[in-house]
Amino acid sequence: MHAEFKSDRICLIICQAFALLAIFAASTNAAKPLRVRVLSYNIHHAEGVDGKLDLERIAQTIRKAQPDLVALQEVDDKTERVHGMDQPNELARLTDMQVVFGRNLELQGGGYGNAVLSRWPILRQNNHALPSLENGEPRGVLVVEVQPPELTTPLVLFATHLDHRPRDEERFVSIRTINDLAGKQPSAWAILAGDLNATPETRVLQAAREFWAMPQGQEWPTIPVAKPQRQIDYVLARPAEHWKFVETRVLEESIASDHRPILTVLELNRPSN
């Protein structure tokens, strides 16, 4: 009886040890940061500074960057100037990613707006119109929920392209509108990417920084494309306390569009349960 009792006790200790190891492994895995590679690219409907219309050059640039998410601006869908090409779906095919398109303007028999490419499943999308002041070009923010397999809740990408005119009233109201939209999901892991048509010292970026975290320490100029001197393209994230900016760089592509693409690598540090 004593030997059987001793054997049972050893088995119990072993089982408890395995249970503790399983709990430790699960908690370690839950807290492991998720890396997210985000590319923002104003593609100028794939017309390069050499005057050539070449969507494959855009796709090649995207493939080389190996992004998880791509926010695209100035995308054409079946317009005359791109010879009726469905640029969003063709880019999805060329990059082997999923796509959604947010049409903001009817143009030349087709549409024009923003698009999002994702290597993760796309759950939901909603294209929100942004305020238009003084007969400005219609603008929007494309809100897309994607589901990385490592997360139990979606990531939300806000992809946008703000007004380009010298006066900043529309940009300022638009970034406030985007902040309000994101504020309706305060606990969501969210990323904002796009062409904001504003440099870092402006009140537009100050309003963005009140709500979103952005890389610190320097600027990453994206225009003019030949010799960039100003940054107007960005990747930002919130809630700030859960995101780390690992790397930001402007890609060495100076022909395919009139903007250079900007790539940011983020780490999402999830709270342990």
pLDDT in tens, 183-204: 998 889 999 999 999 999 999 9
Q: Give burial (CB, 10 Å; 0-12/13-18/19+) of 131.
A: middle
Q: Cα–chain-centroid distance for residue 227?
A: 25
What does 126-139 look like in DSSP terms, one character per residue? EEEEPP--TTPPP-
Helix (H/G/I), strand (E/B), else coil: 241: helix
pLDDT in tens, 30-48: 558 999 999 999 999 999 9
87: CB partners within 8 A, 6+ apart: 45, 46, 55, 75, 76, 77, 115
203: CB partners within 8 A, 6+ apart: 168, 172
Cα torsion angle, 83, 89, 93, 97, sign: positive
Q: Are 158 and 178 in contact (CB under 8 A)?
A: yes
Question: What rounded mean pLDDT belongs to the chain?
Answer: 91
Cα torsion angle, 77, 147, 128, 60, sign: negative
82: confidence class by pLDDT, cuts 50, 70, 90: very high
Task: Report pLDDT for 26.
Answer: 45
Q: Are 263 and 63 in contact (CB under 8 A)?
A: no
Residue 175 has pLDDT above 60, yes or no: yes
Tell whether omega for the bond before 239 is within 30 degrees of 0, i.e. cis. Answer: yes
**Among 21, 37, 257, 26, which residue's Cα sits nearest to residue 157?**
37
Task: Report pLDDT for 223.
Answer: 98
Task: Report pLDDT for 69.
Answer: 98
pLDDT in tens, 239-256: 999 999 999 999 999 999
8: confidence class by pLDDT, cuts 50, 70, 90: low
